[in-house]
Amino acid sequence: MVSIHKLAKMALMVTVDLFALPACFLVAMLLRLGDLSLALQYGPAPFVLVPLATIAAFSMSDLYRAVIRFIDKRLLTVTGIALALSSLCVYTGLLALHGRSFPGSALAIYWFVAFSYVVASRISVRNFLRNHTNQRPATDNTVAIYGAGEPGAQLALTMRASREYRPVCFFDEKRALNARTIAGLRVFHTDRLSEMVDSLAIRSIIIAVPSVSPARLRSITRRMTEAGITTRILSGLLDLADDTDKAPELAMRTLKLEELLGRAPVPPRTDLFARCVRGKTVLVTGAGGSIGSELCRQIATLGPLRLHLLDHSEFALYTVRQELLARAPELRIEAHLGSVCNGALVERIMQKGAIDTVYHAAAYKHVPLVEANYVEGLRNNVLGAQCIANAAARFGVGTCVLISSDKAVRPSNIMGASKRIAELIFQAAAKQPAGTTFCMVRFGNVLGSSGSVIPLFQRQIAQGGPVTITHPEVARYFMLISEAAQLVIQAGAMAKGGDVFVLDMGEPIRIVDLARTMIALSGLTEKTAQRPDGDIEIKFVGLFPGEKLNEELLTDGEAFPSEHPRIKTMREPALLAGILDTYITCLMMACDTNDRPMIESMVKAIVADYTQQNARAAPDAPGPEPAAPKLPVPVQKIEYRS
C-alpha cells in the first residue's frame, strides 16, 4: 500500500502541476497560433502567470486537500469553475501587459487542456492506488452492497481502496438497474440474491439504502438470513472520506434489533405529553422495572414538581434512583421501598405526597412463572391494582393510569386474567363519584424488557445455542420501550374516565423470525438439517401452559380513534363495583387457602372470556374442571361507555 504523509502528497501534487500546467498553456497557444515561435513571442510572463494563478485556484477549490482515491464529480466541478475564474483573471492581467495583441481565445483552449490534464492525472493516480490496493491477502472479505445508489457507489469506491474488503457486486430492487455497471461493479436484481451469493462466494452484505424504513429493513434482512450471510448497514458517508484502510469499517456498523422491530418514530404531541406531568407530583409504581424505569426517564424530562418511585426490589429502586439523579439532579425524587399490595404504604404515599398523577406499572408479567405461582401472581396483580385504585380515589389523585397487557384480551393464562381483573378494577373505580380519572393502556411486548424473549435469546446465542422457541408459529407484537412510555403518558392525558386505550403495535412478528434475525445480527448462521455446519440451532420445546400462538390487542368491542394517530380507545363491558369487590374478596380467600379449583372458578366468574389453554394438571387440582361457584350476589354486567 502506498503511504505518504498528507503534506508530502500536497507538495508532490503542486510540484507536478508547476511543470505540467506551463506545458498545458504551451499546447493551448500552439493550438491557437499554429507555430512555436508565435507561441513564444509573448515572453516567459504568460507561462509563469498562468500556472501560478491556476495553482492558486486549485488550492482554493480544495483540490490539493482531497483524497485522490475518493475524488468525485462534485470536486471536479468546483475545480473546473475555479479554473475558469482564474483564466479570466489571467486574461485581464495579460491584456494589461500586451494589450489587444494577446489571443484571448488561447485561454479558453487552455481551460479545456488544463481541465483534461487534471481529470486524467487524478483519475490515473486513483486507478493506480486502487489497483495497487487490490493485491489482497487470501483472507479477503468478499462482500456485496445492497443499494446501487450514490451511497452504495461511494461505499464501493472506498472498499476497493481498502485491503479489508473486496466488493464484487450490487443488489438492488429496481429492475431498471439490473445488469448495469456502477462504480465498476455489476448490479443484480434482488431476486438473484441466493444464486449470486453461492456463485460469487459472498460472505456478507452491506445495506447502503438511506432512510430505510424498519418494515423494509426487516424484508431485506430476511432475504439475507435465508441466504445464510451476515448483514451490516452503512451508518454514514462522512467516515468514507477518512484516508485510511479503516474508512469502510468506520462507515459501517452492525444492525440493531430496534431498527428491525421498531417503526418510523412519531414525535410526541407536546400538548398531550406534559399535560399530566409538568408542575405536578407524579407516582410511578414498579419504577425499577423495564416500563416503570422508562416512564421515569420520560417524566423527568417534562418538568414535574416531584417524582415518587415505588418498587419492592431494593436493587432496582436504587438503580433507577441513581440514574434519575444523574440525569436530572434538580428533580426532587422520593424513593419508596415496598409492595403495591401494602395498602397502608400506598395510602401514606398518596396522602403525604399529595400525588397528582399515578402510573401503575407494578405487576408480575412472566407467563410461565405466574402460571406456576398463580397465587402470588394474582395477589400482586389484582390486590395491587385494587390498593392503587382505592388510595387514588380516597386522596383525590387527578389521573390514575394502569399499564395493562395484550394478554388481558381473551386471556388464556393466569397472568392475562389478572391483568384483565386489574382493568375491571380501574373501570369500576371510574364509575365512582370521586374526582379521579381512571384509565388503562394496553400494549404488547417492548424490546429489551426484562420479561421479553430477547434477553433470553441473546444469552442462548452467546452460549452457542440452542435457541429455544415454544412453537414455530408463535407471533407477538413488539414496540420500542421509549415509544411505549411516550404513548402511555399521552394516553393518560386524553383520558375522560374508564377509557381502555390500545396502542398501535404494528404487525405481529413471528418469534422464529426474530430468533433467526438475532442469529444473523450476531454474525452467525442457523444450524439446520440442510446446513449442518451452521452455528446456532433453533429448538422447538412446545407451548407453555396458558400460552397462545397469537396475542390480541382488540376484543369484540368497538375501537375508536383518539387524538393521537397511534392510540385507539375501546368500549368494553365492566362489572359493578359492589359485585367486583365481592368476587375479589372470594378470590383472595381462595388464594389464602391455595384452593386451585376455587381460584379457577372465581377467575372465570370475573373474566367471562378466560379460557385456559395447554394447561398441565396441577398436583393439588386433580379431577375434572370445577363448575363456577354459586355466590350470594348475582353477576350483573353493564356496558360502560366513556
How do the residues of the chain divide into helix, strand and coil, expressed in percent and rounded to 5? 50, 15, 35
Helix, coil or strand: residue 500: strand
Are 12 and 6 in contact, with CB atoms under 8 Å apart?
no
Angle between helices 414-430 and 596-606 (to 10 degrees): 50
Number of neighbouring beta carbons within 10 Å of residue 100: 7
- Whole-number Å distance between alpha carbons of 574 and 576: 7
Q: Mean pLDDT of all residues in the chain?
A: 80
Q: Which of 6-20, 37-51, 401-415, 565-579 has the largest mean confidence?
A: 401-415
Backbone angles phi, psi at 468, to 5 degrees: -100, 130
Give mean pLDDT, residues 422-443: 90
- Whole-number Å distance between alpha carbons of 405 and 561: 19
Backbone angles phi, psi at 423, to 5 degrees: -60, -45
Helix, coil or strand: residue 35: coil
Scanning 551-618, the segments in alpha helix (DSSP H) are 577-592, 596-606
Q: How confident is the model at residue 239 (pLDDT cuts 50, 70, 90)?
A: very low
Q: Please give the grid coordinates belonging to residue 539.
A: 429448538
Are 402 and 500 in contact, with CB atoms under 8 Å apart?
no
- 299 has pLDDT over 90: yes
In this structure, of 195-209, 284-298, 324-338, 456-470, the range with the lowest mean pLDDT score is 195-209
Residues 493-531: tens digit of each pLDDT: 888 888 888 887 777 888 888 888 888 777 778 888 888
Number of neighbouring beta carbons within 10 Å of residue 168: 19
- Whole-number Å distance between alpha carbons of 103 and 436: 91
Which strand (E) or helix (H) includes residue 10? helix 6-33
Residues 357-375: tens digit of each pLDDT: 999 999 998 888 898 898 9
Give mean pLDDT, residues 114-135: 70
- Whole-number Å distance between alpha carbons of 159 and 145: 10
Hey, which residues does 595 pair with through a beta bridge?
none
Task: Please enumerate in sequence order all residues whose Cβ is within 8 A of that of 596, keeping only pairs 6 or more positions apart, or say none.
Answer: 374, 618, 620, 621
| 617 or 598, which is more confident | 598
Backbone angles phi, psi at 437, to 5 degrees: -95, 110
Domains of the chain plus CATH, in order, are 6-133 (no CATH), 141-255 (3.40.50.720), 270-639 (3.40.50.720)
Give mean pLDDT, residues 76-87: 80
- Whole-number Å distance between alpha carbons of 580 and 423: 11
pLDDT at 153: 84
pLDDT at 69: 58
- What separation, in Å, do the N-terminal and C-terminal C-alpha atoms of the chain show? 73
Residues 207-232: tens digit of each pLDDT: 888 777 777 777 777 777 777 777 77
Are 431 and 424 in contact, with CB atoms under 8 Å apart?
no
Q: Please give the grid coordinates belonging to residue 278.
A: 409538568
Give mean pLDDT, residues 32-61: 78
Rg of the Cα atoms in the chain: 35
Number of neighbouring beta carbons within 10 Å of residue 601: 20
In this structure, of 210-224, 443-457, 619-633, the range with the lowest mean pLDDT score is 619-633
- Whole-number Å distance between alpha carbons of 294 and 288: 9
| 87 or 5, which is more confident | 87
- 71 has pLDDT over 70: no
- Whole-number Å distance between alpha carbons of 320 and 377: 24
- 624 has pLDDT over 60: no
Left (φ > 0), alpha (ψ -120 to 50) or beta: where does 343 sit? alpha
- Whole-number Å distance between alpha carbons of 430 and 577: 10
Give mean pLDDT, residues 165-185: 86
Are 227 and 204 in contact, with CB atoms under 8 Å apart?
no
DSSP letter for 550, please. B
**What are the CA-CA distances from residue 526 to residues 244, 245, 253, 337, 519 (Å)?**
34, 31, 21, 44, 7
Which strand (E) or helix (H) includes residue 19? helix 6-33
